[in-house]
Structure 1
Amino acid sequence: MAADGTFSPVPTGEKSPEGAIGPRSNTGQKGGAGALIDYCTVVLPESSIEDHGVTWLPNLIGQLFGTNGAIVVGSIRNKPWQFYSQSAVLLDREGEMVGRVGLGGNGSTICVSLSGAGCRWVTRWDNVAKAVERWRGKLSRVDVAYDDYDGECLDVHALRERAAQGDFASGGRPPMHRFLSDEGHGTGCTLYVGAKGHKELCVYEKGKQLGLKTSPWVRAEVRMYGKHTALPLDVLTRPLDYLRGAYSVLQEIITGFCTRIRTTRKAVEATGTAMVEWMHRQVGPAINLLREAFGASWADFAEVHIAREGHPGRFRGVAKGDRLAQLMREELCPS
Structure 2
Amino acid sequence: MTRPARSLLNKHSKTCSLVLEGSQVKARLIAERIETKTPVHVDWLRFTCLLRNAPTPPVQVLFPEPVVSTLENPLSRFDEENGSYEKQRFARLMRKLTELPDSDYSPSAQAFTLAKRVCEILGDDFVVDVELRKGHDFYKHRWSIERNGVEVGWVGFLASGESPRQQAQAKTLHVNLYGSACTFARHGWRDHMADLVDDVAGVITRCDLALDFFDGLRGGMQRVKADYENGLCNVNGKRPKCNMVGDWTHGDQGKGRSFYIGSKEGGKQTNLYEKGHQLFGEKDASGWIRAELRYGNKLRVLPSDMLRRPADHFAGASEWHAALLAEANALAIPQPVPCEKQLAIQTVEAEVTRVIRWVATTAGQSLALFVKYATLDQFAAMVDGLGKPGRLRKFNNHEIASAFNAAAGRVLKGASAGHAFA
Alpha-carbon distance, 1:62 to partner: 3.6
Q: For residues 152 and 167 of structure 1, do their structure 2 counterparts lie closer, same or farther at Cα, with a shift above 3 Å needed?
A: closer
Of 43, 46, 49, which residue of structure 2 is paired with 1:44? 49
* 2:264 equivalent to 1:196: yes
Which amino acid in structure 2 is aligned with residue 116 of structure 1?
G
My pick for the range that moved more, 139-148 or 213-222, is 213-222
Aligned to 2:293: 222
Aligned to 1:331: none
- Pairing of 1:172-251 with structure 2 (within 5 A): 172-182=237-247, 183-184=249-250, 187-197=255-265, 198-209=267-278, 210-211=280-281, 212-251=283-322
Q: For residues 86 and 245 of structure 1, do their structure 2 counterparts lie closer, same or farther at Cα, with a shift above 3 Å needed?
A: same
- Pairing of 1:267-278 with structure 2 (within 5 A): none
SS at match of 2:198: helix
Aligned to 1:139: 204
SS at match of 1:246: coil
Q: For residues 128 and 27 of structure 1, do their structure 2 counterparts lie closer, same or farther at Cα, with a shift above 3 Å needed?
A: farther
Which amino acid in structure 1 is aligned with residue 194 of structure 2?
A
Alpha-carbon distance, 1:90 to partner: 2.1
Q: Distance in 2 between matches of 1:234 and 1:149?
A: 26
Alpha-carbon distance, 1:225 to partner: 0.3
Q: Which has the higher contact order (CA 8 A, sep 6+)?
A: 1
Is this contact kept in 2: 1:180–1:189, CA < 8 A?
Answer: yes
Q: For residues 244 and 155 of structure 1, do their structure 2 counterparts lie closer, same or farther at Cα, with a shift above 3 Å needed?
A: farther
Alpha-carbon distance, 1:44 to partner: 1.6
SS at match of 1:163: helix
Which amino acid in structure 1 is aligned with residue 39 of structure 2?
G
Map Cα deviations across residues 170-229 of structure 1 (whole Å, 9 max, x no partner).
114311101223244653311000111411100011112321332221110000001244
Give the paired residue count.
231
Q: Distance in 1 between matches of 2:219 and 2:158?
A: 43
Q: Distance in 2 between matches of 1:171 and 1:138?
A: 27
Q: Distance in 1 between matches of 2:233 and 2:112?
A: 42
Could you tell me the TM-score, scaled by structure 2's length? 0.50
Q: Distance in 2 between matches of 1:58 and 1:70?
A: 17
Of 103, 113, 134, which residue of structure 1 is paired with 2:176? 113
SS at match of 2:54: helix
SS at match of 1:61: helix
Which amino acid in structure 2 is aligned with residue 249 of structure 1?
W
Structure 1, unpaired ranges of 5+: 1-25, 259-335
Aligned to 2:136: 81
Larger radius of gyration: 2
Is this contact kept in 2: 1:148–1:154, CA < 8 A?
Answer: no
Is this contact kept in 2: 1:98–1:115, CA < 8 A?
Answer: yes
Could you tell me the TM-score, scaled by structure 1's length? 0.62
Aligned to 2:187: 123
Q: For residues 195 and 32 of structure 1, do their structure 2 counterparts lie closer, same or farther at Cα, with a shift above 3 Å needed?
A: farther
Map Cα deviations across residues 88-120 of structure 1 (whole Å, 9 max, x no partner).
33211x122212221104051111100110112
SS at match of 1:118: helix
Q: Distance in 1 between matches of 2:41 and 2:314?
A: 10
Map Cα deviations across residues 52-86 of structure 1 (whole Å, 9 max, x no partner).
86945444234235134422223223x34212222
The sequence identity of aligned pairs, in percent, is 26
Q: Distance in 1 between matches of 2:40 and 2:219?
A: 14
SS at match of 1:207: helix
Q: Distance in 2 between matches of 1:52 and 1:244?
A: 39
Is this contact kept in 2: 1:148–1:218, CA < 8 A?
Answer: yes
Aligned to 2:13: none
- Pairing of 1:287-302 with structure 2 (within 5 A): none
- Pairing of 1:51-66 with structure 2 (within 5 A): 55=109, 57-64=111-118, 66=121
Aligned to 2:158: 104
Cα root mean square deviation, aligned: 2.8
Is this contact kept in 1: 2:122–2:181, CA < 8 A?
Answer: no
Q: For residues 104 and 225 of structure 1, do their structure 2 counterparts lie closer, same or farther at Cα, with a shift above 3 Å needed?
A: same
SS at match of 1:63: helix
Q: For residues 129 and 177 of structure 1, do their structure 2 counterparts lie closer, same or farther at Cα, with a shift above 3 Å needed?
A: same
Is this contact kept in 2: 1:41–1:142, CA < 8 A?
Answer: yes
Alpha-carbon distance, 1:166 to partner: 2.8
Q: For residues 228 and 46 of structure 1, do their structure 2 counterparts lie closer, same or farther at Cα, with a shift above 3 Å needed?
A: farther
Structure 2, unpaired ranges of 5+: 1-30, 62-108, 160-168, 331-422
The structure with more helix, counted as a fraction of residues = 2
SS at match of 1:130: helix
Which amino acid in structure 2 is aligned with residue 98 of structure 1?
V
Alpha-carbon distance, 1:31 to partner: 6.0
Q: For residues 186 and 208 of structure 1, do their structure 2 counterparts lie closer, same or farther at Cα, with a shift above 3 Å needed?
A: farther
Is this contact kept in 1: 2:49–2:200, CA < 8 A?
Answer: yes
Alpha-carbon distance, 1:248 to partner: 1.3
- Pairing of 1:9-48 with structure 2 (within 5 A): 33-48=38-53
Aligned to 1:290: none
